[in-house]
A and B are shown apart, each in its own frame.
Chain A
Amino acid sequence: MENTTAKHVTINNPADISVIVGYFLVVIAVGIWSTFRTNRGTVGGYFLAGRTMVWWPVGTSLFASNIGSGHFVGLAGTAAASGIAVGGFEWNALFIVLLLGWVFVPVYLTAGVITMPQYLKKRFGGTRISLYLSIISLFLYIFTKISVDMFSGAVFIQQALGWNIYVAVIALLCITALYTVTGGLAALMYTDTVQTFVIIAGAFVLMGFSFYEVGGYSALLEKYSLALPSQRNSSISEHCYTPREDAFHLLRDPTTGDLPWPGVLFGIAIIGSWYWCTDQVIVQRCLAARSLTHVKAGCILCGYLKLLPMFLMVFPGMISRVLYPDEVGCVDSGVCKEVCGTEVGCSNIAYPKLVVSVMPTGLRGLMLAVMLAALMSSLASIFNSSSTLFTMDIWTRIRPQARDKELMIVGRVWILCIVAISICWIPVVQAAQSGQLFDYIQSVTSYLAPPIAAVFFLAIFVKRVNESGAFWGLMGGLVMGLCRMIPEFAYGSGSCLSPTNCPKLICGVHYLYFAVLLFFCTGILVLFISYNTPPIEDKHLHRLVFTLRHSKEERVDLDWEEEERGRRARREADEKKKVVTEEDQIERGERSIMMKIIGWFCGISDTQAPEPTEEEVTEASKQLPDISEDPLWKNLVNANALIMMSVAVYFWGYYA
């Protein structure tokens, strides 16, 4: 096998380079084109693409925001190590994405909110819940999404190009930041369509070549169980390097399996509900859609696309282990250190190894473009959404008198801050046990996300839940999650060769089971406290809960006082500004050309719509966001959803 020479092949031939350059040109062109299509100068235009998106950018953007380089590296790596069960994470999402479109988004749309903390603020009143949610969301973004995607991109670039990690990552982040900062959500969603095509096309090509190399699908089934590394010493127990017997089963034994089937069905559903239904990154794309039917159609498109990762990443990961058992399946710590720089294991290099070794010249450039597409689309989405969260939830609390222009600038500056923090986080991720990359994300998410999912479910379906119940439920859930997370990370997650000393009581429960447990405990806590404290009246809940989503009655907003304070502060600022600019204009005349160019680039216009008066505000609140649907399209979309669910169930049954 030609595996020794291909290790650090650099992509330095004209075919590969031209493919990469072509890819960047297309992405930048689409980004620039979309800046002319929507108005980016307003909050609605920048953060929600003016609410004009049709179903296909919604669907592809959902897919591209979700699939990051972490998927290529993590999914393929875990599949190489333990088989196809990790694909259950992807196929579970098919159902959750329907939950998003049919249950959650109608409520978010009628509520008229931009961010998820804003929804909780309207639903419960008070400020502590939304503040907690903003902070923990930003925390989870930095430590689970950004760091993992960047690390995976770095692994790939290191294997494929041989560049210095920092140079590569900084360049990537700068390009991503560039088109995020200028274009806003519209640019992201249109470029995501391009990214999705690139990702799927490239990954299909690689899958084709890999299956050809290994000799076909049935050959993979036979050869996988025979893929043993040749360099192993007798002190290592056999089960550490032998492929699992249930490698081709999605549903595994509940006690001895590495991904037990109740955990796969229910635990992943809970984590998935947090990720798809309550998280800013995903929901923001749905809120940008033109109408509810477009949201639902977009969700169905995303669901169909989510069928693909099993075939595009999981199977190639396993093929990689069959073709290169000594590198991908290495078990001796010395060998592993030589191959990929870490002693724990080298399953993470499964996908990059395939790209470097199996793909012919020219197509390697395409695969690099694919990885860049996945990395940049996810990062850009996360940057945009965290900027939305920071601007709308944290900055407006500090400075309620901030106008559109200031918010736009703050949003963009925050993106630059996040880029800097991410760059500083690279060495930490490098030092962490890279062999456990996918496990690391999923376990951190399992310990912190279920309480949020529980609170959102209860907020939408149970009217009786009130502010104290939700807050103390969240706090209780956080404490419980930290009780598990801190010891586990303190003791270290260990590996097959050197298992961890973490006491069985804490670490013995599988993280997916823990997620289910945490979800139900938080739910019970929330309900218990809510029933013992005064309820929220119906007049505050119109169009904020599922049962009242079609209600046309007037809602007395719980956060009305805070909003009114903000509006008053902005009106006063307007008054002051009028006086100042009148004097200024007489003195200084026109702005300099430089300022004008910067303003155009960032889409910030000088003209600021005046803050609406009190009468205008009450009039505007009477125009309710529309979630009615044309009956023909509604039935068509429902039928399509049913078809998609049947297809998903068939595949689950096939690989169970």
Chain B
Amino acid sequence: MGKTVTALHGLLLTLGLVAAQAEKAGEALPNWLTGIIAVGVFLFLIFIAFLVNKAWCEDASKPEAVHNEYAMTNGSTRETSLDAVRSSEDPKAYENVVVHQTDEKVTEM
């Protein structure tokens, strides 16, 4: 994360320099520069939208996801849920089911 931030800082600095020089010379920004600035602004807005989406919609979607999985297994009888983990090699064996880990991290006291 630190490296990308430094790289971003470097990029912004160079762009700022070029823009300042162009303004000093009294001409409009070169076309390719306006293009790049537009892309930069656009990606920034997308980034903000992504953060907003993660912050707001994350809580709502998590319990829904679990609920959907139950709804998917039709009828949810014991046979069908066992069918979901039936091994492909031997019809009588079953795969090891991995218990779904949550993202909670337990910090050591």
B71 touches A656 (CB 8 A): no
**Contacting residue for A653 out of B36, B43, B46, B71, CB 8 A:** B36
B42 touches A654 (CB 8 A): no
- CB-CB nearest in chain A for B71: A552
**Contacting residue for A645 out of B35, B36, B42, CB 8 A:** B42
- CB-CB nearest in chain A for B68: A550
B35 touches A650 (CB 8 A): yes
Name the prevailing secondary structure of the B interface residues.
helix
Q: Does chain A have a CB within 8 A of B34? A: yes
Question: How far, in whole Å, are A642 and B47 apart by their CA atoms in the complex?
Answer: 11
| Segment 623-656 of A: residues with Cβ below 8 Å from B | 642, 645-646, 649-656
- CB-CB nearest in chain B for A552: B71
A649 touches B42 (CB 8 A): yes
* A interface residues, how many (CB within 8 angstroms): 12
B42 touches A655 (CB 8 A): no
Task: Report A-chain residues with C-beta under 8 Å of the C-beta of B34.
Answer: 653-654, 656
Task: Report B-chain residues with C-beta under 8 Å of the C-beta of A552.
Answer: 71
Q: Does chain A have a CB within 8 A of B39? A: yes
- CB-CB nearest in chain B for A248: B31
Query: Measured between C-beta atoms, what is the minimum distance from A647 to chain B in Å?
Result: 8
Task: Report A-chain residues with C-beta under 8 Å of the C-beta of B31.
Answer: 654-655
A650 touches B71 (CB 8 A): no
Task: Report B-chain residues with C-beta under 8 Å of the C-beta of A642.
Answer: 46
Question: How far, in whole Å, are A654 and B36 apart by their CA atoms in the complex?
Answer: 8
A651 touches B35 (CB 8 A): yes
B38 touches A652 (CB 8 A): yes
Task: Report B-chain residues with C-beta under 8 Å of the C-beta of A651.
Answer: 35
Tell whether A646 pairs with B32 under 8 Å between CB atoms, given A552-B71, A653-B37. Answer: no
Query: Measured between C-beta atoms, what is the minimum distance from A550 to chain B in Å?
Result: 8
- CB-CB nearest in chain A for B32: A654
Query: Measured between C-beta atoms, what is the minimum distance from A630 to chain B in Å?
Result: 16
Task: Report B-chain residues with C-beta under 8 Å of the C-beta of A652.
Answer: 35, 38
A656 touches B42 (CB 8 A): no
B46 touches A656 (CB 8 A): no
Question: How far, in whole Å, are A637 and B53 apart by their CA atoms in the complex?
Answer: 19
Query: Measured between C-beta atoms, what is the minimum distance from A102 to chain B in Å?
Result: 14
Task: Report A-chain residues with C-beta under 8 Å of the C-beta of B36.
Answer: 650, 653
Task: Report A-chain residues with C-beta under 8 Å of the C-beta of B37.
Answer: 653
| Segment 19-67 of B: residues with Cβ below 8 Å from A | 31-32, 34-39, 42-43, 46
Question: How far, in whole Å, are A645 and B46 apart by their CA atoms in the complex?
Answer: 11
A646 touches B35 (CB 8 A): no
Query: Measured between C-beta atoms, what is the minimum distance from B57 to chain A in Å?
Result: 12
Question: How far, in whole Å, are A651 and B34 apart by their CA atoms in the complex?
Answer: 9
Task: Report A-chain residues with C-beta under 8 Å of the C-beta of B38.
Answer: 649-650, 652-653, 656
| Segment 35-55 of A: residues with Cβ below 8 Å from B | none
- CB-CB nearest in chain B for A654: B35
Query: Measured between C-beta atoms, what is the minimum distance from B68 to chain A in Å?
Result: 8
Which of A649, A653, A654 is the most central at the interface, judged by chain B CB atoms within 10 Å of its CB?
A653
Query: Measured between C-beta atoms, what is the minimum distance from B74 to chain A in Å?
Result: 10
Task: Report B-chain residues with C-beta under 8 Å of the C-beta of A656.
Answer: 34, 38
Query: Measured between C-beta atoms, what is the minimum distance from B47 to chain A in Å?
Result: 11
A650 touches B39 (CB 8 A): yes
Which of B37, B39, B46 is the most central at the interface, judged by chain A CB atoms within 10 Å of its CB?
B39
A646 touches B71 (CB 8 A): no
Write out, one digit per residue, whether chain A residues 116-147 have a CB within 8 A of any chain B CB (1) or not (0).
00000000000000000000000000000000
Task: Report A-chain residues with C-beta under 8 Å of the C-beta of B35.
Answer: 649-654
A649 touches B39 (CB 8 A): yes
Question: How far, in whole Å, are A645 and B39 apart by their CA atoms in the complex?
Answer: 9
- CB-CB nearest in chain B for A655: B31
Question: How far, in whole Å, are A552 and B35 apart by their CA atoms in the complex?
Answer: 45
Query: Measured between C-beta atoms, what is the minimum distance from B15 to chain A in Å?
Result: 13
- CB-CB nearest in chain A for B30: A654
Question: How far, in whole Å, are A37 and B34 apart by their CA atoms in the complex?
Answer: 49
- CB-CB nearest in chain A for B38: A653
Instruction: Sort A-B residue pairs by CB-CB distance and give the 6 closest, nearest first.
Output: A653-B38, A654-B35, A653-B35, A650-B35, A649-B42, A653-B34
- Give me 29 A-to-B residue pairs in the complex whose CB atoms sit less than 8 angstroms apart, sorted by A's number: A552-B71, A642-B46, A645-B42, A646-B39, A646-B42, A646-B43, A649-B35, A649-B38, A649-B39, A649-B42, A650-B35, A650-B36, A650-B38, A650-B39, A651-B35, A652-B35, A652-B38, A653-B34, A653-B35, A653-B37, A653-B38, A653-B39, A654-B31, A654-B32, A654-B34, A654-B35, A655-B31, A656-B34, A656-B38
Q: Which residues of B are in contact with A by a Cβ distance under 8 Å?
A: 31-32, 34-39, 42-43, 46, 71
Q: Which residues of A are in contact with B by a Cβ distance under 8 Å?
A: 552, 642, 645-646, 649-656
Additional A-B contact list (17), CB under 8 Å, known A649-B35, A654-B31, A654-B34: A552-B71, A642-B46, A645-B42, A646-B42, A646-B43, A649-B39, A649-B42, A650-B36, A650-B38, A650-B39, A651-B35, A652-B35, A653-B34, A653-B35, A653-B37, A654-B32, A656-B34
